[in-house]
Amino acid sequence: MNLKMRNKPIVDILFLLALFSVFLISALFIVLFGAKIYRNTVSNMEANFKSRTALSYVTEKMRQFDHSGGAAVIHYGETPVLVLNERVGDNDYSTFLYEQDGYLTELTARSDYDFDLTGGTKVVPVSGFFVERVTDSLYRFTLTDENGESVSYYVAEYSHTNNEEGMTHE
């Protein structure tokens, strides 16, 4: 009888240790899975923020230069370039938006400036920027983020609908 009493506390201790081990392993897995989910969420939010920033930037530039003769699309070699024109005093200026070296790049200079892709300011990281003129007043933009995900959207010039003469570009 004394022998049976002696083994019972050992079995109780082993059971408690096993139960505690299962609890610790479960808690470890939950923390690891939570960390992975958090990391993926932060990564997706960052990519979404960068692509939305680029979209908003280009759209706002189009709105800023929304006047007769304000926008055009040119190709500098293989690179599509959005050219935004404005007159300040007696001088004409052009703002060029294009992708170079993984960034949406902007260059503002006098219109008679000999345009060169290397002179721009990096705005936001993108791996691709494509612009095309769909109609006289509608432009289609395709931005590709660093992860290779593309987003296409359209921007309309409102000034064109109020201009009876029409706009000539390109």
Low-confidence ranges of the chain (pLDDT < 50): 1, 163-170
pLDDT digits (tens, 9 = 90+) for 60-92: 999 998 888 888 898 888 889 999 999 888 889
pLDDT at 44: 81
pLDDT at 167: 38
Q: How far apart are CA 79 and CA 94, in angstroms?
A: 17
Q: Is the pTM for the entire model greater than 0.75?
A: no
pLDDT at 163: 46
